[in-house]
Structure 1
């Protein structure tokens, strides 16, 4: 809005028109005009500028491509992304999004174009449903941002059909978990990284959290692990390093651990202390629970390889290292542990993620739930 004002010294009229912020650059523009002999003359000039701005904005919005908007959106988004997550976003953008939608203008994108985009990824590119959903999630987030700037109708996103993602978790049952945990009694040359596998299956911690765990993050008296740092990719070249996960006290995740893990950790610490004494000043003391013989952090690929070698020596199904986390959750569900507790242990953002991930993992739980009604309300013969 702008008002016509009179300059008391010169006796002429002037106005300052706020042109708002540019939707991309965020810069605010103002248009100041002075020296009008009459108020009517100033009003005509103001109306003319408003019309020009409206026409220019319409032209700019029509010509703005999705690729251009996506580029600026990524620059802003990357500020709060971990390097590893940023790398994943960039790969999705470069390989899956820009080749199909990059040259489309935001003004011309509609539900038909978006649905064809999904068909292209599914039928021509033959991407997995989970990858398509991840890719479309980025597109919808970008278009949501464009919608808030008045450049796109967000309602168009509600009618897009996505391929169904059939999740099939590979997990160990209670007997198989027990067989794995008993590996020290059955495998002669057990990997020094075995303690990391035990931590994962008994806590549900992610691999990066296990590899970044320090002794000072463990309270042996209270039997608590604090998630304060993770080992993760720290740059676009794929190099690894430690990332601080606990900016505030409330952000630090706490996981209570069983007494058996306390005992295993104390035994493992004796090995680490022995290696420290042998190497002396040449020991890389990062205070890591899981480390190489010289104290350095363990590369995720080596950790996965050691896990595979361990499982191959046992009479249990081969699963991924990440499936230890799933096995932890499904075991707790089978013991009727409150899903809210499981959510907190796993570090899921909300309980919906937990329920969606594991609701299908134990079909027998639905039968048990139905059985509760029979127990409570069935009538005797």
Structure 2
């Protein structure tokens, strides 16, 4: 393409025409370049940007975004995004050109799936869709984000949490007849740790003198990785009866072979208990105890509920759970606090104005 000189201004400019997918032609004109070389370089860059923005499909953008994402995130998060991209978004938008996807298209897709999934999952689908567009704006010259314009699903997230109170946990643990599982489930309930954090626990992380466990890693699909976040790295003080179970577990393990510091607490040598085996045992104990079923992650919610009912400081609860700040704790468990409103009113009733 030729570059032209503006004789009046003594500068250079270029004019290019780019064919669009709908058959029309778009003209790009840029002025004010001091040299012919600068004008040619700007012209080339404009052509690349227009070509990229015009031709990239959603599938291509999603694949590129996923490659970027999986190089920077944990495996557990990668699986979630992979599922959303390839099982939900790519089948819907895959062959569409990015620049042709409109807010109306996004809204129509939302209407199609709004009653199929939980509010939390719907919101995750939307944030992933928006992330693909933001990524494409940054790296592929796409001009706008129709997902941002359309807005997220206007649905209430599910804030109802399932958990056991202390009596329910006692009912459950009373039927657990295997020492390692009794120690595992009890530590899970009284620590608020995530399942993967306990499966990654090594004997060097257990301090019997200070009655604490050190959470510094997690496990996913039998692979030990960094924890969820920096605040997930923490020391958790444990009650004496839990440490007693861990001590008994250690003593039994030492009868079989000398223990090394990097052996797993809940497992054998360098291997942890398999999640499938834990799930089978868990189902067995649920049926035997007759207690309502909660998922293992809800042991974490049970721990928070247990502490809230003991009137523990939210900041301490936040630190035990490894939340980034106390606001996250209060936001997650705010529904557990209204039960104490009557106690607060009773305190205020004691302070008479007359």
**SS of structure 1 residue aligned to 2:99:** coil
The answer to whether 1:307 aligns with 2:295 is no
The answer to whether 1:102 aligns with 2:94 is yes
Q: Equivalents in 1 of 2:41, 2:144: separation in Å?
A: 27
1:333-348 equivalences under 5 Å are: 333-348=308-323
Q: Equivalents in 2 of 1:246, 1:138: separation in Å?
A: 19
Displacement after TM superposition at 1:112 (Å): 1.9
1:224-303 equivalences under 5 Å are: 224-233=212-221, 240-245=222-227, 252-276=233-257, 287-292=263-268, 296-303=271-278
Q: Equivalents in 1 of 2:197, 2:114: separation in Å?
A: 34
Cα contact 1:115–1:161 (8 A) shared by 2: no
Change (3 A) 1:54 1:192: closer
The answer to whether 1:137 aligns with 2:134 is no
Q: Equivalents in 2 of 1:81, 1:290: separation in Å?
A: 26
Pick from 142, 151, 154 the counterpart of residue 160 of structure 1: 151
Displacement after TM superposition at 1:315 (Å): 4.7
**SS of structure 2 residue aligned to 1:360:** helix
Give 2:191's aligned residue. 203
Cα contact 1:220–1:262 (8 A) shared by 2: yes
Pick from 345, 357, 364 the counterpart of residue 339 of structure 2: 364
The answer to whether 1:90 aligns with 2:70 is no
Displacement after TM superposition at 1:299 (Å): 0.5
Displacement after TM superposition at 1:287 (Å): 1.4
Change (3 A) 1:241 1:284: farther
The answer to whether 1:330 aligns with 2:305 is yes
Change (3 A) 1:58 1:267: same
Cα contact 1:202–1:257 (8 A) shared by 2: yes
Q: Equivalents in 1 of 2:289, 2:61: separation in Å?
A: 53
Change (3 A) 1:96 1:178: same
Q: Equivalents in 2 of 1:337, 1:197: separation in Å?
A: 22
Unaligned runs of 5+ in 1: 1-14, 16-40, 234-239, 278-282
Change (3 A) 1:254 1:286: closer
Cα contact 1:226–1:254 (8 A) shared by 2: yes
Pick from 53, 67, 78 the counterpart of residue 45 of structure 2: 53
The answer to whether 1:127 aligns with 2:117 is yes
Displacement after TM superposition at 1:44 (Å): 4.6
Number of residue pairs matched by the alignment: 322
Q: Equivalents in 2 of 1:166, 1:370: separation in Å?
A: 29
Change (3 A) 1:245 1:166: closer
What TM-score, normalized by structure 2, do the two folds share?
0.78
Deviation digits for residues 350-376 of structure 1 (CA, Å, limit 9, x no counterpart): 444323321124541344455554455
Pick from 53, 64, 67 the counterpart of residue 59 of structure 2: 67
Q: Equivalents in 1 of 2:267, 2:189: separation in Å?
A: 18
RMSD: 3.3
Pick from 154, 162, 165 the counterpart of residue 173 of structure 1: 165
What TM-score, normalized by structure 1, do the two folds share?
0.73
Q: Equivalents in 1 of 2:191, 2:176: separation in Å?
A: 26
